Structure 1
Amino acid sequence: MSLLASKPEDSLALLRRLGIGVPESGAPSAAPGGYSKGDVINGEYRVLDAKEGGFGRVYLCEDLEPERRARGNRLVALKTPLRLRLAKGTDIDLFYAEAANWISLGSHSNIVYAWGFVEIARMPFVAMEYIENAVTLADEIDAGRTDWRVALRIGLGVARGLAHAQAEASLVHGDVKPLNILITPAGAAKVTDFGLSLIDPGGDDPVDGAICGTRGYIAPEMHRGNSGRSQPADMFAFGVTLFQTVTRRWPFPPGGPGPGPASAPPDAREFTPQVPAEVALLIAECLRSAPALRPPSFASLAERLESLHRRLLRTGPSTDASPDAPPRSEALVNAASSWHNLGQWDKARGVAKQAIAADRTNWKAHTELGCIFVSARDYSEALAPRGPHRGEALVRTRAPDV
């Protein structure tokens, strides 16, 4: 799914209409290219650190907004594309699609929570929860601190998170790997980085035909050109992740095409004999060459992992703490504002009405709904009395020419 037009020039035109700051030449605007440690972004976020990749930059910030701080939300991560990438329509599509997919996920204890999509200094940002002192599963594997018990506990959390993504937003993650799994200080697993995620149309067809992901985790059917990103491909990558967690080895050479059509999946017990047979079998099923022979869904896989957790560890799996999310009405306002900023006004309007239904005294919800009506040029609705504020003030603020 593309939030913007299919042609780069159409995407740039839409960005200009949304006020993102790409001039007619297609080059980036002259706004500052980045922030440094100690800078305050938009009067709300003080930069503590910044990390940059090939596509974007993530700022770790101290949240200065009093209302959010009162709820204990001290830290936030702001992700934004590199300014030079904004002139490329395909890169714009990717960032906006990631933002929309992350917002669609809502709140789940095994997924990094996205507060919302915002525009700051004419640049798009996704604001996300920041888990202080978290490590990645890749860090733990490299340090030799994983075994089959860790695989059960972390694997269950990841399966629950990916099952939620499928049920809540029909999402295929597209890049499941240890580096995209955070482990909180309390030991909970959180899936992150939905940069390659796509909406799954359902049925037997793959989401797309592109080979995407990280070398070593790409499913064999993608190498053979028979499929693109899909839930079975995510399941294969999940199997590679569990195999590494248990054995600290690759199940297949990472530079190769993976198992052949007739190849049997590897048995983790060949490298780590103490792995229970049931755990080794589950991992092997995820690594089967034929997509149809892998577990049918992450929801069913989570049930199996929970059963194994109870039988083998003789204890029920812990209930992971809820994410650092705001109250329901406030979260809905954030989502409505995000859809509004993304130009999806029908969806924004529906979510804003849900926020009002959840708390009719929430003035932010009424105000956001009025602003959405203005953007959609529905001035009669925008002028209507709305909660503690009249829509007329919104029209005068957002549309002075009417």
Structure 2
Amino acid sequence: MLSPGVQLGNRYRLDERIASGGMGDVWRGTDQVLGRTVAVKSLLPALLDEPGFAERFRGEARTMATINHPGVVDVYDFGNDQHIAFLIMEYVEGDPLSATLSRVGRLTPARTMALVAQAADALHAAHVKGIVHRDVKPGNLLVRPNGTLVLTDFGIARSELVGQLTAAGSVLGTASYISPEQATGQVATPASDVYALGVVAYQCLAGRRPFEGDNPLDIAMRHVRETPRPLPSDIPPQVCALVERAMAKDPKDRWQSAAVLAGAARQLKAALSRQARGGAGQAAPISAAPASPAPGRAAPISAAPASPAPGRAQVPPRAAPLVSPAAPVAPHRPATAPPPNRPPVAQPLNRPPVAQPPRPTVVAPAAAGYPRGAATVPSAYSPQPTSSRNAPKRSRSGMVFLVIVLGVLVVVCSGVVSYKLRNSLNVMPGGVSVSAVTSEALRPDGRDDPAGTAYRRLDQLRPDGDETITSEGR
């Protein structure tokens, strides 16, 4: 019986048991030679009694040690001591995904797609080396504090004893993620790992496993015969389609490889992240596989937006007009100076200006690269300098008539003014002003009465104003 302080291979000291499963226990230990912390996977003693298990386990351990991928746990050593087979692996600081799901229940679609992409990349690295995991489940997916994922426990489920342990109820968790072909006794393939990873994604999104039962055998048969319950309605349709294809009953209907599944999940995760930042619309469908699916099967969903054809310029979206079309504003026309060396043209009198209809302001679309709201320069109309050809034409005869009328008015006005002045000053012909007229007889109003007198005197002032001339007589 293993306990803290026990040494295996006279080198690895067991410090603390951190996990247990149907195949054995996982301990945190110390490599006393190199002085580093390691993870020690101890297998059940009964497995060593199976013929050929030790050789097969040794061969798979060597193959796993050749996998160089950040998502695959490193294998340092293996051995057999005290009738206990053990595997020395990298110690990963982090929690198993099963502990996270027990704590939070569900993960967001974007977080789930990120984890599925990392796990599928790790599976593909193992599949390239000819290794099938056979036991993909949340307990074997370790998540570091920085969010990266490491897949552990490769290649230990090939033993024929696993079927007996499953029937005895020792691997309840494994039965919940087993593929239909494994449940019916067929050989596990890379497509079996894709199915198991699809079940893990289902549990992350729904907060429950797709099938539940009273015993592992009942659960395994549900994977073969029944269809899982639909995912919650708040899961995007593209995510549901990805999980449904991974969990197809027929291996040929699943994603063609773990690498194709990783690409689909990664593109969908990027689309969901863009949607979360933009806050509008649904995630675009993603193109998951470079090869098309088999005829009659669901086509892969695509998440990457279609890019424009090479060499074709993209037309920026039309900006909203800055001026309301219901109330057009006449553009500002700069004042133009008259052409040089040309006499000014006289304007007609009392001629009202002709009103010009306002020109609507046309706002050009905003150029790409400028900030939204920047003022735009009208391009449909540019003011032109006023040309003398547009000035109203005036006839020469009209100008002559206008000059004659003005001359006649001046003559008439001067005659009227002269007449008024002569009457007001009583100027007599010859330039002599009349100052006083007296006679012997007067009229009732006090004036002279020439008809009633035989005598009259007239005093006149000379033009030089020095003396007067007096004349007497009738």
TM-score by length of 1: 0.56
Q: Is structure 2 residue 153 aligned with structure 1 residue 190?
A: no
Q: Confirm or deny that 1:140 pairs with 2:108.
A: no
Structure 2 counterpart of 1:152 = 113
Partner residue of 1:204?
none
* Residue equivalent to 2:29: 61
Contact 1:236 1:287 in 2 (8 A): yes
Q: Distance in 1 between matches of 2:44 and 2:211?
A: 34
SS in 1 for 2:61: helix
What residue in structure 1 maps to residue 125 of structure 2? Answer: 164
Question: Secondary structure of the equivalent of 1:62?
Answer: strand
Show the 5 A alignment for 1:12-91. Answer: 34=2, 36-39=3-6, 44-50=11-17, 55-65=23-33, 68-69=34-35, 74-83=36-45, 85-89=47-51, 91=53
Q: Which has the higher contact order (CA 8 A, sep 6+)?
A: 1
Identity %: 28
Higher helix share: 1
The equivalent of 2:236 in structure 1 is 276
Distance in 1, matches of 2:184 and 2:265, equals: 30
2:89 is matched with 128
State the distance in 2 between where 1:110 and 1:96 align.
22
The residue aligned with 2:141 is 181
Please list, as runs of the form range in 1=range in 2, the aligned pairs for 1:192-341 lying within 5 A after superposition: 192-196=152-156, 214-224=174-184, 227-254=186-213, 255-256=218-219, 257-258=221-222, 266-268=229-231, 271=232, 273-314=233-274
Secondary structure in 1 aligned to 2:263?
Answer: helix
Does the aligned pair in 1 maintain the 2:119–2:149 contact within 8 Å? yes
**1:163/1:299 contact within 8 Å kept:** yes
- Distance of 1:266 and 1:166 partners within structure 2: 30
Structure 1 unmatched runs, 5+: 1-32, 199-209, 316-402
Residue 386 (structure 1) aligns with: none
Bigger radius of gyration, 1 or 2? 2
Q: Distance in 1 between matches of 2:127 and 2:90?
A: 21
Unmatched runs of 5 consecutive residues or more in structure 2 = 276-474
Give the Cα–Cα distance (whole angstroms) in 2 for the partners of residues 235 and 53 of structure 1: 22
Taking a change above 3 Å as real, the CA distance of residues 124 and 219 of structure 1, as seen in their structure-2 partners, is closer
Q: How many matched pairs?
A: 260
Q: Are the aligned partners of 1:112 and 1:128 in contact in 2 as well (CA < 8 Å)?
A: yes
Give the C-alpha shift of residue 137 in structure 1. Answer: 1.1
CA contact (8 A) 1:136 1:182 kept: yes
Following TM superposition, by how much is the alpha carbon of 1:296 offset from its aligned partner in structure 2, in angstroms? 0.6
Query: What is the deviation of 1:86?
Result: 3.2
AA in 2 matched with 1:156: A
Q: TM-score, normalised by structure 2?
A: 0.48
Counterpart Cα distance in 2 of 1:142 and 1:53: 17
Aligned-residue offset at 1:301 = 0.7
CA contact (8 A) 1:171 1:197 kept: no
RMSD over aligned CA atoms reads 3.3
Are 2:71 and 1:110 equivalent residues in the alignment?
yes
* Distance (whole Å) between structure 1 residues aligned to residue 256 and residue 119 of structure 2: 16
